[in-house]
Structure 1
């Protein structure tokens, strides 16, 4: 009896080597509270082919894709501030033209200050306010008129817009309260700085609002004697405002 004959396929050589990838900037652990950067830069090389794409992921979830070198991911600061207080990982995944992949990881430490209750603090008298930009009637002077209604607010669409408020006199200050428009619908990303002389500034908070409240949210100052407050806005989780 004749045996059945089956065709055979012999493979030789290799499909190709995996690409190499590494974080350029930053190149080491990111501490969310102290990181002053906005963008993440990655380098990827494939010696026997081409890089098709570089994907950025946080805790396994993709949030950025770039297919043209240099591989730059912009405005990452806001993405990191959405992370919970914990140790996380950012992964950069390179894929070459043959489907080979290689990953590089960067540790992210998030230990953001949580907002505090303002009921135990006495409000201070504020004398002036100015901003680098503002929208229509949403002028900086609205922030010191004592009116917390949504119609009386400061807003700007400029990324990095600054609002500077001056108290009528320098005093020891324990906390600062801020109310956001649509504060229960979106998170605002911002820096808070304080100063005694408007020349030397100290950052007291760098992070995000809760996104769950329409009331004022409190942030600790530390009891220092201050006269000036500077708010720098970096858009929100919904839009550029």
Structure 2
């Protein structure tokens, strides 16, 4: 009888040990899944660069205002859309300033310092996606249309550029047949950036009709919406998600609602 009871207690002890082991395994898997969810929900880091600023006005052409003003207006609209979608945004400038060392004696030196400061911002945000917003200009006023330049240092840059090009064409400039171009060393930021990086020329200020459009706030909003949409579709294609209202949510789906609700070649140096 004692032997039987001993066997029963042994069996019960083994069962309890197995159950305890199963609980430990379950808890371990649960915490691992939670950690994975938190990791996948990290906000995408975007560095937005409004070209020029301060005493560096950029191109003018047929525009009543300099390029720097239009660049900032469009970039701030892109910033708003991306923030609504749950992205973390770093702006190289948020007002009319030239970055860098203002004590340098020549404008050329101050421009170089400005570019180096912008590059330092990229470097201080590793793992970011970098987008610089500009307006184009050419001596012949016949040219028009947006064009995207991409860094050759990161294979993802070309995909980002293509996604932005497609949304600009589909949503803003259906007649645009311009192709994306790999950046040369003349575009310093793209030549040196190691993370995905593009420069968007939204149009030509040397073209009278396009200059008028680029100065129109509604058109600027359409352009910003298209750029933001392209960025978010690129992120979606990379499987990057964010957290909204306590649950994992697709970036592009979030941004699409925000964008819909708001609606009722030659490179210069």
Sort the TM-score into its range (normalised by shorter chain).
under 0.3
Task: Write 1 or 2 for the structure with the bigger share of helix.
Answer: 2
TM-score, with normalisation over the residues of structure 2? 0.26
Structure with bigger RCO (C-alpha 8 Å, 6+ apart) = 2
